[in-house]
Structure 1
């Protein structure tokens, strides 16, 4: 296997990993390093990425026309076939090296060429809210302890949500969809504002649409496959364990989530839920020292920068006292 074939093989592997829904942050960094090592790496990666994307578009059109269920294995087989054709075109023995280069240049300068505009990972630490402005005019805001990987090309805008919660304010582009892959689900939009929260502990996903329309697709569910259109005011929670969606509606009023402005709002919420939410933003965790805490409820608007405000509200309105240790804050009944 010569050098060109090795580069093509490596590029094909990285593209399949990118669309597998299982790409890790370390792999994303590995791909970025490899792309920066040599111009030929980026050239072959872009070419195969474009082949994948054109195959994916063709498959999605077929699915919508026939209402057939999609499977990743089918899409992967399209990619393998396309890559095989691509390799054969470049390896036919009766083409001279010069002819091969002409063929390659033609391939890259036509529709198959899909250059990478941006590929980068972003993360926020515990208690941090981080805003990222993308080159397409979109804005993503990471809530506490969140991580995403972003890839923008000339034809698609792709985000991998690895963990946490992100608010998306997407610039509308009819010809270039914005796709968010969470591993087992995919969210596709053109231009809208919404929040996605990936709860690893509960193995669930929550989508809150503030403005626009969101297409929600459960990728890895072989049975009872779900494709749902969510509109402004919809809140969809998907539980991976039960493979089902719970849908509720609220008056969004086109408002951003409170945590972007550094506040949390609770309306007659169970104390256990309040504590669980607060712990997302704290290094020193709050622990319950008594059972049946769900009988206690609390309402209010609290600033995340003021650690004592919620605790003061709890002790002022509930029969609860606070004991702080070196490693935690313990609540117990009075």
Structure 2
């Protein structure tokens, strides 16, 4: 965030504080202050400046007003959105508070947890990039690529919406994940419900509501809804604890999953691609995984630079 944006956000918090913060707003302010030392410095500097301005206003109000007119200096200068803040003899015009869009990202193998200002918890999987914009009137997240899990604080007045490719996923009180790889989008509902819409839809396109224990798989204009057992949902979300869980997936599919988390990629050749495996593995420990393939299935494992070739 730029210094100018930080100053504007700090000033907006001052405005809210002057009229009185709700408990939710106080929690949001505390979270914002903890996010960066720059946030705290800007807030404290503006607060000190405002206190000085408040004292000057009080001193001026003690003087008798001119007989030809009365002058009233409002104490709650920050109570209106368009207000003036006196700083070091200059004047800054404050726009209504619009928190800037935040960008969050992870590298290959990285995981990140973010708590948005509304209290919603967002977990980013490997190689993921999102844009989050939470305001007084709306809450949106755009998933550019990768996968994210959302534990949403429900607010019917401000629906929580995730955009992924040509799909719009709207929270109906839930915990869910969204995966995106180009036009491929997968929504997994752990709790509650979500609504999935096609952007630029026609009258023939009907929004789809997916409930707990279901997965929505989309590509282009096609949509498939699957009911999944609770354990399968847990396996799909095991990445949140840094694990990969397989239940009779082919070795080719398992390798694709490992390759998402590692810069050294597994390449499975020949009939070995069809071998089915099960078990749980640390996503970042590719060496142990291929060692188990060698010992358990008698497969050949050859390292070739940043590739690990597995074959019969």
Shorter-chain TM range is 0.5 to 0.7
Query: Is contact 1:163-1:198 (8 Å) kept?
Result: yes
Is 1:215 the counterpart of 2:215 in the alignment? no
Change in CA separation of 1:38 and 1:306 when aligned onto 2, cut-off 3 Å:
closer
User: Which one has the largest radius of gyration?
Assistant: 2
Partner of 1:245: 223
Structure 2 distance, partners of 1:311, 1:124, is 25
How many Å apart are 1:174 and its aligned residue? 1.8
- Equivalent residues, number: 231
Corresponding residue for 1:116?
98
Residues 317/222 of structure 1: CA separation in 2 closer, same or farther (3 Å cut): farther
The one of 265, 272, 291 aligned to 1:312: 291
The aligned residue for residue 259 of structure 2 is: 279
- Shift, 1:195, TM fit: 0.6
The C-alpha deviation readout for 1:164-219, integer Å capped at 9, x for no partner, is 0001111111211101111311011143101100023xx31000000011010011
Cα 1:322–1:224 shift into 2, 3 Å = farther
Structure 2: gaps spanning 5 or more residues: 13-79, 84-94
Structure 1 residues 225, 114: closer, same or farther in 2, change over 3 A?
farther
Whether 1:162 aligns to 2:174 is no
TM-score by length of 1: 0.62
Q: In structure 2, how many angstroms separate the alpha carbons of the residues matched to 1:318 and 1:157? A: 49
The secondary structure found in structure 2 opposite 1:116 is coil
Q: Deviations over 1:220-246 (max 9, x none)?
A: 354852410010001010011xx2111
- CA distance in 2: counterparts of 1:227 and 1:305, whole angstroms: 38
**Structure 1 gap segments, 5+ residues each:** 1-31, 44-105
Query: What SS class does the counterpart of residue 113 from structure 2 fall into?
Result: strand
Quick one: distance in 1 between partners of 2:142 and 2:4?
18
Contact kept, 8 Å, 1:196 with 1:207, in 2: the verdict is yes
Cα separation, partners in 2 of 1:221 and 1:273, compared to 1, 3 Å: farther
For the pair 1:194 / 2:176, whether they are aligned, the reply is yes
Given that residues 301 and 311 in structure 2 are in contact (C-alpha distance below 8 angstroms), is that contact kept between their aligned partners in structure 1?
A: yes
Residues 133-191 of structure 1: CA deviation (Å, up to 9, x unaligned):
11111110000000000001101111010000001111111211101111311011143
Moved over 4 A (4+): 32-35, 106-109, 221-224, 253-256
Q: TM-score, normalised by structure 2?
A: 0.67
Whole-angstrom CA distance in 1 between matches of 2:152 and 2:213: 17
2:284 corresponds to 1:302 = no
Q: Tell whether 2:303 aligns with 1:324.
A: yes
